[in-house]
């Protein structure tokens, strides 16, 4: 069977590190996502996982960068710089959510425990989990940039942060995967497919169950509890706007033997974002 073909190389864009800061100058509203507690809880829950999650991604890719071809080595360096910046900005975002009254410590503890669990396995398994989660971030990033009106306020620094993160996630979506292809270059196609598919199924189960629990817990901190609140969250994810429903075809594509992130060409979203930024007043540069 043909596996993991690499005929995508012409599509992967150059990776630009847009080192920016967001949300330092004003307090974050408790329900910053259009006054919607459910949307806020979902996005805050995701953000709470990013600092530890992105550190895992960096460690996983670093473990296999020795001997990488020069072009991939360069991409790995840019990937790490982007993820380090994302971590810094989401730590600031998470502090702002805490200042708005949320306690994220339980979520953080669950993520820390899960990552410790992952790291009891060989580093190739960390990388397998990383490529699965990078596929999730690329799918969600595509949705946020293609349909920002469904998910984000039309203005404000929180919306800017999420769009900035999304564009860089799309831009570097092939890097961990190419590192995986490099790390498993001596494997049979079947062995490679079997491990990445198995890890995607396990990762998906944990990701969905844990994020649902995290968001439910944050809604509980708003005093919103009970089955109706859980049903509202489920409808938000599967009905309207329905990010899980809308990204399901992309999730399925991961299981194709010939999958590669750049078989889904969404470079137009990067170009659109950069053109909008060039036309807008300059954002705060990071120091």
Nearest approach, Cβ of residue 133 and Fe ion (Å): 8
| Residue 189 CB contacts under 8 Å (≥ 6 apart), including other chains | 1, 2, 3, 4, 257
Nearest approach, Cβ of residue 156 and Fe ion (Å): 20
Q: Is 135 in the site for Fe ion (CB under 5 A)?
A: no
Q: Which is nearer to Fe ion, 83 or 217 (CB)?
A: 83
What phi and psi values does residue 198 have, to the nearest 5 degrees?
A: -60, -45
Which residues in the 16-45 window bind Fe ion by CB under 5 A? none
Nearest approach, Cβ of residue 165 and Fe ion (Å): 6
> 113, 51 in Cβ contact below 8 A?
no
Q: Is 142 in the site for Fe ion (CB under 5 A)?
A: no
Cα–chain center distance at 108: 16
Nearest residue to Fe ion, by Cβ distance, number only:
86
Q: Which is nearer to Fe ion, 87 or 184 (CB)?
A: 87
Q: Which is nearer to Fe ion, 38 or 196 (CB)?
A: 196
Q: Which is nearer to Fe ion, 28 or 47 (CB)?
A: 47
Q: Is 86 in the site for Fe ion (CB under 5 A)?
A: yes
Q: Which is nearer to Fe ion, 21 or 86 (CB)?
A: 86
Question: If we measure between CA atoms, which residue out of 205, 211, 202 comes closest to residue 236?
Answer: 211
The CA-based diameter of the chain, rounded to the nearest angstrom, is 55
Q: Is the dihedral of CA 113, 114, 116, 117 positive or negative?
A: positive
Nearest approach, Cβ of residue 54 and Fe ion (Å): 5
| Residue 240 CB contacts under 8 Å (≥ 6 apart), including other chains | none
Binding site for Fe ion (CB under 5 A): 83, 86, 169
């Amino acid at each position: 069977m043909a596996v993991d073909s690499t005929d995508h190389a012409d599509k992967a864009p150059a990776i630009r590190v847009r080192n920016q800061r967001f949300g330092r100058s004003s307090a974050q509203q408790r329900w910053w996502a259009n006054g919607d507690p459910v949307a806020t809880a979902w996005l805050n829950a995701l953000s709470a996982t990013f600092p530890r999650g992105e550190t895992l991604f960096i460690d996983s890719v670093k473990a296999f960068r020795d001997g990488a071809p020069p072009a991939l080595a360069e991409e790995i360096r840019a990937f790490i710089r982007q993820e380090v910046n994302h971590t810094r900005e989401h730590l600031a975002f998470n502090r702002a959510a805490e200042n708005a009254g949320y306690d994220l410590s339980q979520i953080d503890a669950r993520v820390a425990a899960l990552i410790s669990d992952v790291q009891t396995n060989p580093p190739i398994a960390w990388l397998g989990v990383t490529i699965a989660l990078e596929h999730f971030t690329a799918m969600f990033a595509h949705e946020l940039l293609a349909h920002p009106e469904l998910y984000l306020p039309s203005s404000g620094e929180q919306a800017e942060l999420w769009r900035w993160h999304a564009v860089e996630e799309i831009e570097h979506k092939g890097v961990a995967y190419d590192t995986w292809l490099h790390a498993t270059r001596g494997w049979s196609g079947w062995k490679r497919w079997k491990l990445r598919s198995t890890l995607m199924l396990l990762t998906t189960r944990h990701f969905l169950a844990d994020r649902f629990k995290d968001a439910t817990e944050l809604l509980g901190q708003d005093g919103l509890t009970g089955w109706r609140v859980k049903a509202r969250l489920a409808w938000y994810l599967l009905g309207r706007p329905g990010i899980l429903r809308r990204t399901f075809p992309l999730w399925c594509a991961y299981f194709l033997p010939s999958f590669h992130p750049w078989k889904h060409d969404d470079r137009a979203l990067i170009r659109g974002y950069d053109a909008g930024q060039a036309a807008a007043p300059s954002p705060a540069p990071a120091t």
